[in-house]
A and B are shown apart, each in its own frame.
Chain A
Amino acid sequence: MKRIKQRYRYSFVLLKQLVKTDFKIRYQGSALGYLWTLLRPLALFTILYIVFVKFLRVGDQIPYFAVYLLVGIVFWNFFVEVTLGSVGAIVAKGDLMRKLSFPRYVIIVAGSFSASINLLINMVVVFLFMLLSHVPLRVNGLLIVFPLMELFVFSLSVGLLLSALFVRFRDINYIWEVALQAGFYATPILYPITLVMAMSITAAKVLMLNPMAQIIQDARAFLVTEQTETIATIYGSSWARLIPVTIVLLLAVVSVWYFKKRSPYFAEEV
């Protein structure tokens, strides 16, 4: 235990300062400062709520659909923040890397920690929204930590992989931006999964294999209502959940392996 502490001491020290620095710098010079962390997802939520829920009457049959929508947006927002922030992060720190040898993953992990702080604050807002919308609070709500953990691991894995790939392939950031656009619509965020199920159950089954879809639906089931369709109810078996979870774990292994393999050469390749 002591040896582990000794070995990772430098990483911890560095990580802490990088997160703090990011926190201090991010909203410097903006009048509302840190409030933007809350305002951005709330603004997106308001727009989507007005367009889709009020005008297009999406999710009419779903109780507390506003909270549903907010949970989806907050989770998706975190995924976007971590992955998009990671893509160029290694290259942006090229100057530092050419002068100092430090564990390169710290840069990416620091980015995802900063985003996690934002996520937690956003979760407080979600909680307030739940109270305002009179969502009945259940003990099951505490299980939200599992989807949150899965979300963190998934986002960090994607972030590590993309950042390492971007050092060699500078098209990755454009491709990823497009992929995120597509992903937003391929994930049941602003439409309920029941809409897809009504049209084609196969399509719904395929969509749910996407870890983001599984994570968001599980989070909604824990937080909002038990009636939420999750990957388990759609497939009729809890075992189905293993597919997206396995995808996440495999991706984590591949990402860490690739990042570890490439990181000694970052300094000369960026």
Chain B
Amino acid sequence: MEDVAIQVKRVSKNFALPHERAKSVKEAFINPFRSSMHKNVDVQHALKDISFTVKKGEFFGIVGRNGSGKSTLLKLLAGIYQPTKGSIVTKGKLVPFIELGVGFNPELTGRQNVFLNGALLGFSEKEVAAQYDDIVEFAELKDFMDQKLKNYSSGMQVRLAFSMAVRAKADILLIDEVLAVGDADFQRKCFEYFKQLKNNRVTVVFVSHDMNAVREYCDRALLIEKSKLVDIGETSGIAEQYQKLFMSQQGQSVGSEQGDDRWGDQKLVITNVAAEIDEHWLKITQTIKARVDSEPPIVGVRVRDASGKDITGTNTILEDTKLPSLHKGQVLKIEFKFPNVFADGKYTVDPAVLHNDGITVSDWWNRALYVNIQKKRHLPYMVDPGFLINYTIK
């Protein structure tokens, strides 16, 4: 028990979502309080039965997709929200960074904001004054401190805020994707700060989408999906599960109804599309069901980037693969395996089945699958073909 910093026991959080219905003026007039007291309330279950412990000095990651409940969890840890059920115990001084520069007032000068923000971080005026020169120097804003904050660029504001944040003396720090903002130089500073925290054995709870940062800094991580805890454990395992969420889910979830994104006579129908990704290979598997006896079909696949630009694609004709005729009820499973040369990012997969003439579409499905590629190796170009370098010295 001694070395536990945060203990979360069976915590659930519900939010009441009031439905605001337009009421007649007369009704509102007769009973002005009614609207606020008898709202139709929907309950949103933001978190369900979450339990975990964070040890002292641990760098603990919380990952999950948007809307999974991870920010709610962080706010519960910070004491901003109260759990509907369960209990949260934290030991020591806790400082949350849900956002940088909380409480910054645009009408005050940089200097005045330093003192205000300092107070919110728990520093007395004396304590801020003692560190004032360091703060200003670190933010590189020496000549701007007597200007109002509203005249600062957003970059300057972030620098000042960050310069304040790193001063916070806490036993537990909660950090919510602070890294999402700022340029490369700023991000480098952030990472340096993280390293320093890690070396000083400060307990950190870190919420992020960035699996590379999670892999690099977190000792353990927790994956949360649809308000529920999926797994806690070694960072690499959690990061893998997180990435799989993006693959498994969308293949089915995109509406299989015909529409703008899907068309064809559906004699041969794509029943499933799945992707397997690793550092070096991408494998896309299509499952196709024949609803009637058919001539040998042509199956193709296309990969596009987030902006919709074609990146690559092929089909069974181009690859000289002759498929057999299909009988009614038969299921064809076909794999397209190719080197994972893609840069990090989100891609869509468009599978298609054409009839033997190569013109009539049986089932064409744009954006059937979303693929999220995140590699250990970053190349700032669209394609990473896997370079081999040889050199000689004479």
Contacts and interface: CB of A to CB of B under 8 A. Distances in A.
Contact of B98 (A16, A20, A100): A100
Contact of A13 (B33, B103, B112, B123): B123
A92 B119 CA distance: 19
A168 B119 contact: no
A99 B96 contact: yes
A21 B122 contact: no
Contacts of B98: 98-100
A40 interface: no
B80 A16 contact: no
A170 B75 CA distance: 25
Interface stretch (A68-76, A149-157, A260-268): A260-268
B120 interface: yes
B33 A17 contact: no
Given A24-B108, A25-B105, A101 B96 contact: yes
Interface residues of A, number: 27
A10 interface: yes
Contacts of B120: 14, 17, 100, 102
B78 A101 contact: yes
A101 B79 contact: yes
Given A24-B112, A169-B33, A171-B33, A98 B122 contact: no
A102 B99 CA distance: 15
B124 interface: yes
Contacts of A171: 32-33, 36
Interface in A44-61: none
Nearest to B97: A99
A178 interface: no
Contacts of A96: 102-103
Interface string A17-50: 1101100110010000000000000000000000
Nearest to B107: A25
B124 A13 contact: yes
B36 A168 contact: yes
A97 interface: yes
Given A13-B119, A100-B120, A169-B36, A21 B80 contact: no
Contacts of B125: 13, 16-17
B129 to A, nearest CB: 13
A99 B102 contact: yes
A100 B80 CA distance: 6
A100 B96 contact: yes
Contacts of B365: none
Contacts of B82: 264-265
Interface in B94-126: 96, 98-99, 102-103, 105, 107-108, 112, 115-116, 118-120, 122-125
Interface in A99-113: 99-102
A101 B95 CA distance: 9
Nearest to A100: B102
A10 B75 CA distance: 19
B33 A267 contact: no
Contacts of A100: 78, 80, 96, 98, 102-103, 120
A18 B119 CA distance: 9
B191 interface: no
Contacts of A16: 119, 125
Given A17-B116, A97-B80, A99-B99, A268 B15 contact: yes
Among A99, A169, A170: residue with most chain B CB under 10 A: A99
A7 to B, nearest CB: 13
Contacts of A99: 80, 96, 98-99, 102
B81 interface: yes
A105 B291 CA distance: 69
Contacts of A169: 33, 36
23 contacts: A14-B120, A16-B119, A17-B115, A17-B116, A17-B119, A17-B120, A18-B116, A20-B115, A21-B108, A97-B80, A99-B96, A100-B78, A100-B80, A101-B79, A101-B80, A101-B96, A102-B120, A169-B33, A169-B36, A170-B36, A171-B33, A171-B36, A268-B15
Interface of B: 15, 32-33, 36, 75, 78-82, 96, 98-99, 102-103, 105, 107-108, 112, 115-116, 118-120, 122-125
- List the 10 shortest-distance A-B pairs measured between CB atoms, nearest first: A17-B119, A101-B79, A99-B98, A264-B82, A267-B80, A99-B102, A101-B80, A13-B119, A13-B124, A14-B119
Interface of A: 9-10, 13-14, 16-18, 20-21, 24-25, 28, 96-102, 168-171, 264-265, 267-268
Given A16-B119, A21-B116, A99-B96, 8 more contacts: A17-B115, A17-B118, A18-B116, A21-B105, A100-B98, A102-B120, A168-B36, A171-B32
